Structure 1
Amino acid sequence: MFENLLPPLNDHNLPYADTIHPIVVHFVIAMVLFAFLCDVLGYFTRNEKLYEVSWWNMFFATISIFIAIIFGQIEAGLALAYDAVEPVLNLHTLIGWSLSGILAAITGWRYVIRLRDRKTIPVAYLGTGFFLTCLVLFQVYLGDELVWVYGLHTVPVVEAVKEGIL
């Protein structure tokens, strides 16, 4: 009934040229990692300008992660997920949604720190930034695994699933 309203899927099993999720999510990854680096450098050099750079990176990363999740959910829904890939895809999805809440909470905390004193940052916040960095890097690992090991949205895998080989 609604099939006529949807655009046709291409050889990547997508209604648009290629995956968008990785493009958007790379901005989130870069901003979170760069924010943590700026906080650490700012802490040891006592350069408060680096804290400002960190704040804005966290702010825009928090907005961007929700855009990345929207495209991630669309593309995960369109992925021809065969049995072997499902546990990794489910874990990647769970951590992605969790990261959105964690990142929003940490950014909120960072905003309060910024309002109170722009010249210092607590060591506890740096520890939380380290935890966030580790979580982001694990999520990157899972995303890489989905593409480079399981081949989601790659033409050969899409064809293999459609032909019943996988």
Structure 2
Amino acid sequence: MLELLPPLNDHNLPWMDTIHPIVVHFVIAMAVIAVVFDLIGVLTRRSTLFEVSFWNLLFATAAIFVAIIFGQVEAGLAEPYGRASEILNLHSTLGWSLAGVLSVLTGWRYVIRSRDPQSLPLPFLAAGGVLALLVVVQVTLGNQLIWIYGLHTVPVVEAVRQGVV
């Protein structure tokens, strides 16, 4: 299947640079802001923030699947070394898990919104807190892959190609 891709560049990618981090930043921002708006909406009793939160959650759910598609392709081309393989596997597994969590929360939120758009139950707010925590863990793993192990950076790709790493 890799023969279907164009030749790989100095980042070991068929396109100019990594796309996964670009898309995933939208997911991070929308998921976290949904939780924040829910909390602010509950504390200030401004139910209009619940609507903003719902739409952020909905778009985060759609965007995470785009991020996963690019993430899986880029992970397959990454050539991880040492402990980076373990972290990359955990990052991939948690990414798919987050897609499931976001999908369930969005569905739950749709039902809540359909029944009573003016309030949110406490268990949903708690689930939002768990979502935010999972996002923080996922961001930490992704940062390690880039800033510690340098996956898809030119020096690391060159070192792997030369057999140094």
Instruction: Tell me whether the two structures share a fold, i.e. TM-score over 0.5.
Output: yes
**Count of residue pairs brought into register by the alignment:** 165
Matched, 1:58 2:57: yes
Spell out, residue by residue over 1:11-61, the C-alpha distance to the aligned partner (whole angstroms, 9 max, x if none): 000000000000000000000000000000000111010000000000000
| 1:46-125 matched pairs, under 5 angstroms | 46-125=45-124
Shift of 1:84: 2.4
| 1:125-144 matched pairs, under 5 angstroms | 125-144=124-143
In the superposition, the TM-score normalised over structure 2's length comes to 0.98
RMSD between aligned residues: 1.1
> Structure 2 CA distance, aligned partners of 1:17 and 1:89?
21
Q: Which residue of 1 aligns with 2:13?
A: 14
Indicate the percent of aligned positions where both proteins have the same amino acid: 61
> Structure 1 CA distance, aligned partners of 2:131 and 2:84?
25
Task: List alignment gaps of at least 5 residues for structure 1.
Answer: none
User: Aligned AA for 1:70?
Assistant: I
1:116–1:147 distance in 2 versus 1, CA, 3 Å: same
Shift of 1:2: 7.0
Task: List alignment gaps of at least 5 residues for structure 2.
Answer: none
1:84–1:2 distance in 2 versus 1, CA, 3 Å: closer
Kindly report structure 1 stretches of 4+ aligned residues shifted beyond 2 Å: none
User: Aligned AA for 2:110?
Assistant: Y
